[in-house]
Copies of this chain bind each other. A is one copy, B any other.
Amino acid sequence: MPSTPHIESHFTASASVRDVVIGMADGLTVPFALAAGITGAVLTSTQATALVVTAGLAEIAAGSIAMGLGGYLAAKTDAEHYSSERQREIRETLELPAVEAEEVAKVFREYGLTEAQMTPVVNAICSDPQRWVDFMMRFELGLEPPDPRRASRSAVTIAAAYVVGGLIPLAPYMILPSVIVALRYSAVITAVALAIFGYVKGRFTGISPWKGALQTVFTGGLAASAAFALVKLIE
């Protein structure tokens, strides 16, 4: 596989950035929307602030663990999927070598090579079983060998991003005595945090930063509005 530093750094960064994005996008949005949603329902309660903060913290705990473990299991599943597909390719090169050699040839045929140009290439690849299987994994199935440390790193990154993101909209409810005042502060600081997050995310993922900012503020706003509207409907 290609191993220029430029590509390696590109892929590593994008995996971690993706994890932060997964965790923080939800962390900023769901606890904010939940707190906003139940603020309307508990307004008359004597312990309104305590209820919102409790629900918000319970959501952050549950959400960060569920998403972190989800990321862990997804990475583990990818690794197991890679290894089971690899076993299958090894078996196929042993049992059906002609079919597999033809699949190597097919990859090159798509790039306009003649049979004469192709033959030495296909022979060279198929002469080494290890190399043959590597080629099939990468070019037939499009699977890259997974990083073994990825699963646990992914879990921690996602969970931490969720907690950090989730505490931002919840902070005003923890500080201010009135839930309705806290809701206003929460909306403002969450919108600002979503915009900054979307801007930075846009820079990392190569889309326009301002477009990224707009997207995340819109997502958060829509989720919160839906939660709020639903609660008003129930009442």
Contacts and interface: CB of A to CB of B under 8 A. Distances in A.
Contact of A30 (B42, B59, B103): B59
Contacts of A206: 80-81, 84
A181 interface: no
Given A57-B231, A80-B206, A65 B34 contact: no
12 contacts: A1-B142, A25-B70, A33-B58, A33-B65, A34-B62, A37-B55, A37-B59, A37-B61, A41-B55, A57-B231, A58-B227, A111-B121
Given A7-B140, A141-B7, A230 B58 contact: yes
Interface string A102-138: 0100111011111001101100110110010011001
A12 interface: no
Interface residues of A, number: 84
Given A80-B206, A113-B121, A25 B234 contact: no
A63 interface: yes
A13 interface: no
Given A80-B207, A124-B113, A131-B112, A62 B234 contact: no
A38 B54 CA distance: 7
A121 B121 contact: yes
